[in-house]
Structure 1
Amino acid sequence: LVGNYDSSVRSVRNARQATEVKVDVALRQVLRLSERDQILTTVLWVRLLWTDEFLRWYPEEHGGQSVIRIPCKDIWLPDIYLYNNADEISTGKLGHLTDVIVQSNGLVEWPQPLTAKTSCDINTRFFPFDHQQCELLLGSWSYDGTQINFTHLVPYGDTSDIIENGEWELLSMSVYRELNYYSCCSNPYPNVRYVMRLRRKADYYIFTYVLPCLSCLVIVLGGFFLPTNAAVRIQLEVTSLLALTVYLLMIQENMPPSSGDVSILGKYTM
């Protein structure tokens, strides 16, 4: 089947025809969201589907064989990249050497696992009761919309088998198709954007940060009811000040160094 196949040629007989490539992303796990580095680490199962007009056969002529699996390096593959890749080691290209599943009608399915590190704009103003919105932006790097019509398979991300994270709760995972124009090129580049909305599970931070800070507030207010000449009053206020300083350092250690969205809890400890 691939004896005379040229893997450098796009999978259409008419070069003017765009190859329709569909993507389906299943979110398996949110590993970590680093507020300081503003990087989201996720485990994904990605499927790419397209039709290869050079990989078609009649099953009745091959013993009823209608589906085969062959190494992906033997055929043409779309160059799909993770545009907002934040991994210093990887370029963000989808290219795991997994086998492709080819059907007799030319439909090619390329499933692959991916541990993705993507940039995410973090807003910690309402920490630890904050919501975050992070994205996965996928698209071809060298083929524009006249060559690859890149779109999503279904209008939502697959979260049916997600492994729960101890700190973050996934609220939704929606998907949008975009046409982006860049200064380098006149033709548009289609992208698929997966948007994940996350909510922080605040129980740990309530007992670690919020309640101790409120306790310090009660202690400070209680000091005003002590006699002005009592030595314990000064000791109590100084101790509360030191405690609030420690909590301020703990909070700021995990927050991104940004002046635009300082957390309300951080402002309180100041």
Structure 2
Amino acid sequence: MIFFYIFLLLFPHQICQAEVNSNMEGKLLNDLLKDYNKMSRPVKNLSSPLEVTINIGTFESFDLDEISQTISVLLYITVSWVDKFLTWNPEEYSGINQTRLPAGQIWIPDLQLQHTPIGSGMLSTESNAILDSSGLVKHTPPGTIKTICQEMDLYKFPYDTQTCTIEHLSFTHPSNELFLRLGDFTLDQNTFQSQEWQLLNVTSRIEINYYGGPYPFQKHIICLMVKRIPNYYISNMIYPYAVLASVAGLGFTLPPDSADKLSLGVSVLLSTTFYAGMVADIVPVTTSMPFLGLYCLVMMSLVAFSVVSTLAVINLHNRGEAKMSYLQKTIFLKFLPSLLFMEKKSKPSQVQRNTNHKGKVQVETLNDSSKEVEQEQAKDWKFAAKVLNEFCMIIFSAGFFIIFAYTIFFL
């Protein structure tokens, strides 16, 4: 308490001056808003346009929803103009050169956010506007901008680069009444916060459009170019899909008579179908299929191919004594083995030598019995199954490595 009285004794002038300035600022606001009409354009000559300057500040957050194809951006935009009816002489108000007042109590440009899914997209009037003694008004509306990102190209998803626009325009004031001008443009990459996107470039421009009237309307366009960071999709979708498909490829190494050869492929096919459902939930419905969807479709097709080829191999292996046609012999015993550098191991014909009680050797003729012929046919079918298994494994491996290498290294 003692220090408070000492402060009053030493600095009485500063305390009184602060009280006077507070009273003067209140008087200034009352005088400015007296008889002020916020519905009319603040120009003394109605035929002259009002110049509105748009200054782009920093980007602090960015989010893009692929399903609804909308972007949410925390962007600071400062709109400034000169209000001829909000000027004063600072000498009459204790040297006050600047003040603040609610934006909802004065005229502000009716700039609307075009292509927005919520509300009318009008500039917010909930914050204060900074007012200069010369009538210069600066207004920075708060809030997150949410707009539709048109013409999204998702073919290279998740390696895609998107270009989205934020458009502001006035539908009621043509350019002869409200003239838009680009102001300062400051972009700091360090303030951009997004776990999924990298900001590449930001541009700003003014376009002129005609909407059926004699005078053109100006549109302020902010163009954002962002690149997706694909780490999440690589670690949670691309690599798991590749691992599942490679497990299905291991089924070719199992012998045809193995009980787990078919069940392995069916289990992997069910797992890939589950992952395909996850991809469908995050990819929007578009006319062109995203590459991630194409990747999953190819991998699932390869797994389905392994299951079908396994069924074919098991079928050939268990044909038994069925007679092989000429076409089947040509394909499975001649053409494919020569293509795969495989050769059937054939055993020489059995010759039976029986010795009688006199020591004479009797050479029996070749065993042309039906039983030996049937055994030879069964061996041909098993060899055909082995050839088909090797051929299908090569096709599967080639398709797998091509789609996986293209996804990782060439997109």
Q: State whether TM-score is above 0.5.
A: yes
Question: 2:64 and 2:70 mapped to 1: Cα distance?
Answer: 6
**2:117 is the alignment partner of 1:98:** no
C-alpha deviation, 1:265, in angstroms: 2.0
Question: 1:169 and 1:43 mapped to 2: Cα distance?
Answer: 15
Question: 1:255 and 1:160 mapped to 2: Cα distance?
Answer: 28
Secondary structure, counterpart of 2:255 in structure 1: coil
Q: Structure with the greater relative contact order (CA < 8 A, sep ≥ 6): 1 or 2?
A: 1
CA deviations on 1:149-184 (whole Å, 9 max, x unpaired) are: 013213x4644563511122222221111001113x
Question: 1:180 and 1:161 mapped to 2: Cα distance?
Answer: 35
- Alpha carbons 1:151, 1:191 under 8 Å: kept: no
Aligned to 1:267: 294
- Alpha carbons 1:157, 1:173 under 8 Å: kept: no
Q: Match for 2:106 among 31, 56, 75?
A: 75
Question: 2:176 and 2:224 mapped to 1: Cα distance?
Answer: 29
Q: Percent identity?
A: 28
Aligned to 2:167: 137
CA deviations on 1:113-171 (whole Å, 9 max, x unpaired) are: 121211013322112111111111011121111100013213x4644563511122222
Aligned to 2:138: 109
Secondary structure, counterpart of 1:114 in structure 2: coil
**2:267 is the alignment partner of 1:239:** yes
CA deviations on 1:181-234 (whole Å, 9 max, x unpaired) are: 113x22111011111111111111111001011112322333223323322221
Corresponding letter in the other structure for 2:285:
P
CA deviations on 1:7-54 (whole Å, 9 max, x unpaired) are: 222111111111011112334433531111111112222211001112
Name structure 1 gaps, 5 residues minimum.
Answer: none
**2:174 is the alignment partner of 1:174:** no
Which structure: larger Rg? 2
**2:82 is the alignment partner of 1:54:** no
C-alpha deviation, 1:254, in angstroms: 0.7
CA deviations on 1:39-71 (whole Å, 9 max, x unpaired) are: 111222221100111222222232211111122
TM-score, length basis structure 1: 0.91
Name structure 2 gaps, 5 residues minimum.
Answer: 1-31, 298-411
Secondary structure, counterpart of 1:112 in structure 2: coil
- Alpha carbons 1:48, 1:109 under 8 Å: kept: yes
Secondary structure, counterpart of 2:74 in structure 1: strand
Question: 1:85 and 1:91 mapped to 2: Cα distance?
Answer: 7
- Alpha carbons 1:31, 1:42 under 8 Å: kept: yes
Corresponding letter in the other structure for 1:37:
S
Question: 2:190 and 2:125 mapped to 1: Cα distance?
Answer: 21
Aligned to 1:151: 181
**2:216 is the alignment partner of 1:216:** no
Question: 2:262 and 2:174 mapped to 1: Cα distance?
Answer: 70
Q: Match for 2:222 among 194, 216, 236?
A: 194
How is 1:11-90 mapped onto 2 (pairs within 5 angstroms)?
11-87=42-118, 90=119
Worse-matched range after superposition: 101-110 or 29-38: 29-38
* Number of residue equivalences: 265
C-alpha deviation, 1:5, in angstroms: 2.0
Higher percent of residues as strand: 1
Aligned to 1:126: 156
Higher percent of residues as helix: 2
Say what the alpha-carbon RMSD is for the aligned residues.
1.8
